[in-house]
Chain A
Amino acid sequence: MTNQWHDACATDDVDDEDLITMKLAGQTVAIYNTPEGFFATAGMCTHEDESLDGGLVMDGVIECPLHQGRFCVRTGKALSAPVVENLKTYELQVRDGRVWVKV
Chain B
Amino acid sequence: MITNAQSSNIHMDKKQLKALMRRSDRPGLTYLAAWIALLAITGTPVILTAGSWWFIPAILVYSGCFAVSAYALSHECAHGTAFRTRWLNEAVFWVTSLLYYEEPLHRRYSHASHHTHTWIEGEDNQMPYAPIPLTFAGWVEEILGLGLYWHQTKMFVLHSLGIFSENVKRVTPASELPRMQSNTQICVAIYLGLAAISMAAGWLWPLYLIVIPRVLGGPVMNAFILMQHVEMAENQPNIVQSTRSFRTNWFFQFLYFNMNHHIEHHLYPTVPFHALPDLSDKLGDQLPPPDPGFISTHWEVLKITIRRSLGRNDRSAKIRQAFSDDLTGAQNDQSVA
Contacts and interface: CB of A to CB of B under 8 A. Distances in A.
Interface of A: 15, 18, 47-48, 50, 54-56, 58, 63, 65-68, 70, 80-82, 84-85
A67 B269 contact: yes
Contacts of B18: 15, 18, 56
A82 B2 CA distance: 16
Interface centre among A50, A68, A80 (most CB of B within 10 A): A68
Nearest to B109: A82
A81 B105 contact: yes
Contacts of B23: 56, 58
Contact of B2 (A50, A55, A70, A80): A50
Given A54-B17, A56-B270, A81-B105, 20 more contacts: A15-B15, A15-B18, A18-B18, A48-B2, A48-B116, A54-B14, A55-B270, A56-B21, A63-B270, A65-B270, A66-B2, A67-B112, A67-B115, A68-B79, A68-B270, A80-B80, A81-B109, A81-B176, A84-B173, A84-B175
Contact of B115 (A63, A66, A81): A66
A80 B77 CA distance: 13
Contacts of B15: 15
Nearest to A83: B173
Which of B2, B17, B270 is packed against the most chain A CB atoms within 10 Å?
Answer: B270
Contacts of B109: 81-82
B282 to A, nearest CB: 15
B116 A67 contact: yes
15 contacts: A18-B18, A47-B112, A48-B2, A54-B14, A56-B22, A56-B270, A66-B2, A66-B4, A67-B115, A67-B269, A68-B79, A70-B80, A81-B112, A82-B108, A85-B173
Which are the 9 A-B pairs with shortest beta-carbon distances? A67-B112, A82-B112, A68-B80, A56-B21, A84-B173, A65-B270, A81-B108, A68-B79, A84-B175
Contacts of B55: none
B268 interface: yes
B116 A65 contact: no
Contacts of B112: 47-48, 67, 81-82
A63 B268 CA distance: 13
A5 to B, nearest CB: 27
Interface residues of B, number: 26
Interface in B158-199: 173, 175-176
Contacts of A56: 18, 21-23, 270
A67 B109 CA distance: 9
B81 interface: yes
Contacts of B80: 63, 68, 70, 80
A48 B14 CA distance: 21
B84 to A, nearest CB: 8
A100 to B, nearest CB: 24
Interface string B82-105: 001010000000000000000001
A54 B109 CA distance: 21
A67 B86 CA distance: 15
Contacts of B4: 50, 65-66
A77 B2 CA distance: 24
A25 B270 CA distance: 30
Contacts of B22: 56, 58
A66 B116 contact: yes
Nearest to A82: B112
Contacts of A58: 22-23, 84
Contacts of A63: 80, 270
A68 B22 CA distance: 13
Interface string B128-158: 0000000000000000000000000000000
Contacts of A66: 2, 4, 115-116, 269
Interface in B12-28: 14-15, 17-18, 21-23
* Most chain B CB atoms below 10 A, which of A18, A48, A66, A82: A82
